[in-house]
Amino acid sequence: MSQSSSLWSDAIRRLFKNKAAVAGAVVLIVLIVLAAFAPWIAPYPYAYQNLDLGASPPSSAHLLGTDVLGRDLLSRILYGARISLLVGFIATTVALVIGVSWGIIAGYAGGKVDSVMMRIVDILYGLPFIIFIILLMVIFGRNLWLLFLAIGAVEWLTMARIVRAQVLSLKNQEFVLAAQAMGVSNFAMFKRHLLPNILGPVAVYATLTIPQVMLLESFLSFLGLGIQPPMSSWGTLIKDGVESMEEYSWLLIYPGLTFTITLFALNFFGDGLRDALDPKTSE
């Protein structure tokens, strides 16, 4: 245990030295807090319309301006953050649960089970998932939870591969063999011995999955197949912004900027985490 805690404290020390990663983490924390407290922070309710105002450029009453229905853009971005981040985290969790269990079982069981399970992953890899998600959204309606599930169900494949590779390399190490010899049950083996040792790569990959998932959600919302009005995610805001960008460019620029900054922050943090946990890759 002392070895694993020193690995983590080393990693955290390296992470703090990486300025881009720290900046990313700070941006993310601020965003999460803003999103969580959006109902108290946002100056207006997200669906509050002031039709007399129409689309107005940024002013002191509306810091980022208003959209064509006179809704406050800043408030809508803050509420949109809730949806976008929620999709990011929940869909990633779905991917995490499926991918980690799949990878651990395949890697630990080995033999036929392993080759069948990994062959399934190979096959699924070759499929056009984006098209299937669109198909699902068309057929079953544009349901938020379905969206989480569908995106999560797509993103677990790489996770399964990473976890399996880790488990394979752990499986023959002395401490696992010793635990087996002492008759530790499969479940205890996963919980006590395997899981703590694959946490690093899993954490890294999860951080890098979140931006992928958020991109996917906003892509669907942009096509009109994701989040439905009056709710807004960043994807729908960008879509609305594109529709009126000729006259009201701020409606595109601010949501786009927020989204891009968030993706940057997530990627920088993820890269930093990877370098911190695995110093070899940063060479």
Partner 1 sequence: MLGIFLRRILLAIPVLIAVASITFFLVRLAPGGPFDADKAVSEQVLKNLNEAYNLNAPLSEQYFDYMSGILVGDFGPSFRFPGRSVTELIMTGLPVTFELAIYSMLIALFIGILSGVTAALKRNTFLDYIPMSIAMIGICVPTFLLGPLLVLIFGINLELLPVSGWGQLPGDKILPSLTLGFAYAAYIARLSRGGMLEILNQDFIRTARAKGLSEKMVVIKHAMQGGLIPVVSFLGPAVAGLLAGSFVVETIFQIPGLGRFYVEAAFNRDYTMILGTTIFFSFMIVFFNLLSDIVALWLNPRSRDT
What CA–CA distance (Å, rounded) separates 217 from 204?
21
Q: CB-wise, 131 or 181, nearer to partner 1? A: 131
For partner 1, what does the binding mask look like between residues 263 and 282, x meaning CB under 8 A? xx--x---------------
Binding of residue 68 to partner 1 (CB under 8 A)? no
CA atoms within 13 A on the CB side of 6: 3
Residue 2 token pair: 């002392």
Query: Distance between CA atoms of 262 and 77, rounded to whole angstroms?
Result: 12
In angstroms, the first-to-last Cα distance of the chain is: 27
**Beta-strand runs (E) in the chain:** none
The residue to which tokens 């006590």 are assigned: 192
Size of the site for partner 1 (CB under 8 A): 37
Interhelix angle 73-109/111-125, nearest 10 degrees: 150
- In the complex with partner 1, the residue whose CB is nearer, 104 or 162, is 162
Using the rule CB under 8 A, which residue among 21, 225, 273, 277 binds partner 1?
Answer: 225
139 lines the binding site for partner 1 (CB under 8 A)? yes
> Which of 74, 70, 36 lies closest to 56, judged by CA?
70
Nearer to partner 1, 49 or 158 (CB): 158
Q: How far is the CB of 152 from partner 1 (least distance, A)?
A: 18
123 binds partner 1 (CB under 8 A): yes
Instruction: Enumerate binding residues for partner 1 (CB under 8 A).
Output: 123, 126-132, 134-139, 211, 215, 218-219, 222-225, 235, 238-239, 241-242, 245-246, 249, 252, 256, 259-260, 263-264, 267
